[in-house]
């Protein structure tokens, strides 16, 4: 066994060693940083890479990044002239007197089963040229005094008071609390419950990458969430604004067995509550599967910081011989010579070494002392995946096969890193990839393992950063509901002071989306969970009335100026896709009543009345295209119009300004009645009687809408803008069109064609004529449809004689002769006589 580092270090000159011991929140780490910066050079060894990175950033701000180095297993930032080193304990240099100052944080971890022997070695041998500082719990004071001669022990009291608060249900846990569990499954379950009831929690576990842990801690520290759910990793030096620590259980699996926490471990975790001068509380989580309560003795010990002293520190030979694998294993299992030290339990690196030493193929490749040393370095690769010795040893064996002949090629390492550069997957998948990339980050940091070391290390760090960002996003997405967190935090007595606004259709309370406001109807965010809906509705009820009052006050002048985005659909006035009022039957189809929608009930009576008045003005302006029909309706009420004219006018009103001429009673009207009809804008055609202004699409759509409101609309298709004058017939008829054969033609276009046909015939009407179908074809009518239209108007074709066989040239055109119907050929009946065979006879009798 090597003798350069004796197990018993009591003979070392320790006149410059200072032990600063005490509970959490005593400012020990802050003191060490001050002392580090006061010296010309120095190093601090931390138990976690996360802490080393945090302090590195602080010292960089003081000394400048070119003067400060970060040295961990997975990350090395080493400027050429760096004089201050922030390290993990495993990576810190132990060369004596090279640095002016050396400090070891959380030195009580020398009693840890897995890593204790490393802390013990640094405790015994890491020394600064001018000052050495040991930071830790007061429980190791007897052993520090026994092992280190002339050590100066300084006890520091806690800045704040720590008090027991008993057991609390999760729903009663106060804000700014940390809930500590001892398994990933329990952490996830508690975080999920907090998301449902309190808006979520940040999650901190040892399995997370440092970057992900930092991001989650930042969520909590910034106040975005009020709860932190963590494993016992939170007890190792994380500086958090925690006011209460709740234990979800008081036992954990330590790698060997399930055991109850020691009082020192309880205090280390509970001590996270309270910051500087602010007092903290601790307790348990009532109702959990692992519910337990502190004993009176444990409460007293934690509150008074009185714990049994540590009796043994774990030790393992720090400088074994490398003559052979057997010699190396024997040295690593050597018993310590000091009674204060105990042999370290078999760590995973030694377990892997033993497993591979038993493999003849692997052990046969380890022949020289240099190969033994290199093989031991490979076996010490940390098990970031937490897969255990058997599985981890297989990964180490594959790595050794590549390393025993030299360095790993850059292409090989780059491919391995690239395979892990996938940010999709769930939380467990991303955690597995981060653990794997941390292994490659560790490998890439070794100066003699990888070609292009700096480039490969940078690639590994970049992939870890991307995976950490993705994992942080998944954790945030799963366990944090920002909206609920904001509302739970703000919906107290001061909820009326919240910032409430509408952006487009979104309703935002203190910047968080809670739903949408369409018109005057509030809709809860459809993505909200059922448990969140009541909370969101409560927020809406507090703030929406005032918001709706403002919206109504802004909307009224917009409506009157014609700038409001309103429409009439299905007999209702629509704003932003929501109904704000509806039309109900009035004294006629053209005079509907306006009824406010229930969504306007939240408005005060004056605001609702003002809004309805503006809507009535808007509706009156909207119905302006139907003004000719209103005039016809008014004329139909005149007593001097005569029963025949009044019956026709009533029929026109019911038909929306268009009826067929057949059976209309027009032939029984005198010249004065026809003149009056013309003055009302009514055009009398050969087949139809219509008002041209009411054939426009806008007028037809309005008439249909009024029919829906009145409950009298028939199944028709409203006329869209840009419709051609002629088109193929549809299953549902089009208003304003007449069917001719298999086509439809607009009424005014049909009348135009028929008027030209009548102008072409002779006054007597007996001589056959030839009609040019060019204009009809230009409108879109086929020859067959044009012929059908002419037949409807009383024209009859005279077919040309058949052409002789063998004759050349185009066929002779069809000639037409007009033959008025018998009813049209009769003399006009007196105005007082009722129309014969008229469908309007009964209506005229009623008018009389």
CA distance 725 to 779: 6
pLDDT in tens, 609-654: 898 899 999 989 988 999 999 998 888 888 787 888 888 889 998 8
What SS3 class is residue 388?
coil
- C-beta neighbour count of 652 within 10 angstroms: 26
pLDDT in tens, 201-211: 899 887 777 78
CA distance 362 to 358: 8
Nearest of 359, 356, 333, 365 to residue 346 by alpha carbon: 333
Under the banding of pLDDT at 50, 70 and 90, the label for residue 714 is low
Adjacency order of strands within the sheet including 512-518:
500-503, 506-509, 512-518, 521-524
Higher pLDDT, 331 or 255: 331
- 482: pLDDT strictly greater than 80: no
Quote the pLDDT of residue 288. Answer: 60
Quote the pLDDT of residue 763. Answer: 65
CA distance 478 to 332: 45
Tokens of 110: 């020398």
Quote the pLDDT of residue 534. Answer: 60
Quote the pLDDT of residue 500. Answer: 52
- 844: pLDDT strictly greater than 80: no
Under the banding of pLDDT at 50, 70 and 90, the label for residue 5 is very low
Paired with 524 in beta bridges are: 515
Average pLDDT over residues 573-591: 86
Average pLDDT over residues 781-797: 89
Asked if 411 contacts 398 with a C-beta cutoff of 8 angstroms, the reply is: no
Highest mean pLDDT among 204-218, 721-735, 760-774, 831-845: 204-218
Q: Of the ranges 286-290, 297-301, 584-588, which one carries the lowest mean pLDDT score?
A: 286-290
Q: Which residue do the tokens 């009044």 mark?
A: 646
pLDDT in tens, 118-141: 999 999 999 999 999 999 999 999
CA distance 506 to 515: 6
Quote the pLDDT of residue 845. Answer: 46
Higher pLDDT, 49 or 812: 49
Quote the pLDDT of residue 142. Answer: 93
Quote the pLDDT of residue 447. Answer: 78
Under the banding of pLDDT at 50, 70 and 90, the label for residue 509 is low
Higher pLDDT, 14 or 814: 814
Could you say which DSSP state residue 640 is in?
G
R_g of the chain computed on alpha carbons: 47
Sorted by where each starts, the structural domains of the chain and their CATH numbers stand as: 17-155 (3.40.50.300), 162-304 (3.40.50.300), 347-475 (no CATH), 494-622 (no CATH), 625-801+811-825 (no CATH)
Paired with 411 in beta bridges are: none
Q: Which residue do the tokens 């030790």 mark?
A: 315
Could you say which DSSP state residue 662 is in?
T
Asked if 212 contacts 203 with a C-beta cutoff of 8 angstroms, the reply is: no
- 392: pLDDT strictly greater than 90: yes
- 754: pLDDT strictly greater than 50: yes
Quote the pLDDT of residue 9. Answer: 42
Under the banding of pLDDT at 50, 70 and 90, the label for residue 563 is confident
- The sign of the CA dihedral 578, 584, 588, 592 is negative
DSSP codes joined into one string, 587-617: EETTEEEEEE-GGGGGS-HHHHHHHHHHHHH
- Helices in 743-814 by DSSP H: which ranges? 747-760, 774-779, 783-792
Under the banding of pLDDT at 50, 70 and 90, the label for residue 396 is very high
Tokens of 781: 């009518």
Average pLDDT, the chain: 83
Higher pLDDT, 458 or 545: 458
Higher pLDDT, 187 or 504: 187
């Amino acid at each position: 066994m090597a003798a350069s580092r004796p197990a018993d270090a009591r003979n070392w000159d320790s006149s410059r060693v200072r032990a600063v011991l005490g509970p959490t929140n005593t400012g020990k780490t802050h003191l060490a940083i001050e002392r580090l910066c006061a010296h010309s050079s120095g190093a601090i060894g931390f138990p976690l890479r996360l802490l080393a990175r945090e302090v590195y950033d602080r010292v960089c701000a003081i000394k400048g990044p070119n003067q400060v180095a970060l040295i961990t297993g997975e990350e090395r930032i080493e400027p050429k002239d760096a004089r201050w080193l922030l390290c993990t304990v495993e990576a810190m240099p132990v060369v004596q007197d090279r640095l002016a100052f050396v400090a070891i944080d959380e030195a009580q971890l020398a009693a840890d089963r897995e890593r204790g022997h490393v802390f013990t070695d640094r405790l015994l041998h890491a020394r600064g040229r001018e000052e050495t500082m040991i930071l830790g719990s007061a429980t190791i004071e007897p052993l520090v005094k026994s092992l280190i001669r002339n050590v100066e022990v300084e006890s520091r009291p806690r800045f704040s008071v720590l008090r027991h608060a008993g057991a609390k249900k999760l729903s009663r846990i106060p804000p700014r609390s940390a809930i500590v569990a001892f398994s990933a499954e329990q952490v996830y379950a508690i975080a999920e419950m907090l998301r449902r009831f309190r808006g979520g929690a940040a999650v901190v576990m040892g399995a997370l990458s440092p970057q992900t842990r930092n991001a989650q801690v930042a969520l909590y520290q910034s106040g975005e969430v009020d709860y932190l759910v963590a494993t016992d990793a939170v007890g190792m030096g994380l500086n958090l604004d925690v006011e209460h620590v709740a234990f979800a259980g008081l036992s954990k699996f330590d790698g060997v067995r399930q055991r109850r926490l020691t009082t020192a471990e309880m205090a280390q975790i509970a001590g996270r509550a309270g910051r500087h001068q602010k007092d903290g509380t601790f307790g348990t989580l009532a109702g959990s599967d692992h519910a337990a309560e502190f004993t009176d003795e444990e409460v007293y010990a934690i509150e008074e910081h009185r714990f049994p002293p540590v009796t043994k520190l774990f030790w393992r030979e720090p400088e074994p011989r490398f003559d052979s694998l057997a010699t190396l294993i024997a040295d690593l299992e050597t018993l310590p010579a000091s009674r204060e030290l105990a042999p370290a339990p078999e760590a995973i690196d030694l377990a892997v070494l033993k497993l591979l030493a038993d493999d003849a193929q692997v052990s046969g490749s380890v022949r020289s002392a240099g190969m033994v040393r290199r093989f031991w370095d490979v076996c010490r690769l940390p098990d970031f995946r937490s897969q255990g010795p058997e599985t981890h040893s297989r990964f180490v064996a594959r790595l050794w096969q590549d390393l025993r002949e030299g360095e790993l090629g850059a292409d090989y390492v780059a491919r391995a890193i690239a395979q892990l550069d996938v940010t999709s997957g769930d939380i467990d998948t991303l955690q597995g990839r981060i653990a794997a990339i941390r292994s490659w980050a560790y490998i890439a940091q070794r100066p003699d393992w990888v070609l292009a070391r700096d480039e490969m290390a940078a690639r590994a760090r970049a992939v870890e950063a991307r995976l950490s960002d993705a994992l942080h996003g998944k954790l945030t997405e799963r366990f944090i509901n920002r909206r609920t967190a904001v509302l739970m935090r703000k919906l107290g007595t001061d909820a009326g002071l919240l910032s409430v606004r509408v952006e487009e259709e979104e309703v935002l309370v203190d910047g968080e989306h809670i739903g949408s406001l369409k018109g005057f109807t509030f809709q809860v965010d459809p993505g909200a969970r059922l448990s969140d809906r009541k909370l969101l509705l409560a927020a809406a009820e507090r703030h929406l009335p005032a918001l709706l009052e403002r919206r109504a006050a802004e909307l009224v002048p917009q409506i009157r100026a014609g700038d409001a985005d309103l429409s009439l659909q299905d007999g209702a006035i629509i704003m932003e896709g929501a109904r704000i009022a509806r039309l109900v039957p009035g004294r006629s189809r053209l005079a509907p009543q306006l009824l406010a929608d229930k969504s306007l009930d939240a408005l005060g009576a004056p605001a609702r009345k003002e809004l309805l008045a503006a809507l009535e003005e808007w509706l009156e302006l909207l119905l302006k295209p139907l003004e000719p029909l209103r005039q016809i309706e008014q004329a139909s009420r005149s007593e001097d119009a005569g029963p025949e004219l009044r019956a026709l006018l009533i029929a026109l009103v019911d038909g929306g300004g268009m009826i067929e001429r057949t059976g209309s009673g027009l032939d029984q009207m005198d010249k004065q009645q026809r003149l009056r009809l013309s003055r009302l804008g009514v055009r009398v055609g050969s087949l139809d009687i219509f008002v041209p202004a009411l054939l426009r699409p806008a007028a037809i759509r309005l008439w249909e809408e009024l029919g829906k409101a009145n409950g009298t609309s028939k199944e028709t298709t409203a006329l869209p803008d840009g419709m051609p004058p002629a088109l193929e017939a549809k299953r549902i008829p089009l208003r304003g069109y007449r069917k001719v054969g298999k086509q439809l033609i607009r009424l005014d276009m049909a009348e135009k064609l028929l008027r030209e046909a009548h102008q072409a015939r002779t006054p007597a009407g007996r001589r056959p004529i030839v009609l040019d179908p060019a204009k009809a074809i230009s409108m879109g009518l086929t020859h067959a449809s044009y012929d059908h239209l002419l037949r409807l108007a009383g024209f009859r074709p005279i077919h040309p004689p058949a052409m002789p066989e063998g004759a050349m040239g185009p066929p002779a055109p069809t000639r037409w002769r007009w033959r008025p119907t018998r009813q049209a050929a009769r003399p006009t009946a007196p105005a007082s006589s009722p129309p014969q065979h008229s469908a309007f006879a009964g209506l005229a009798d009623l008018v009389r």
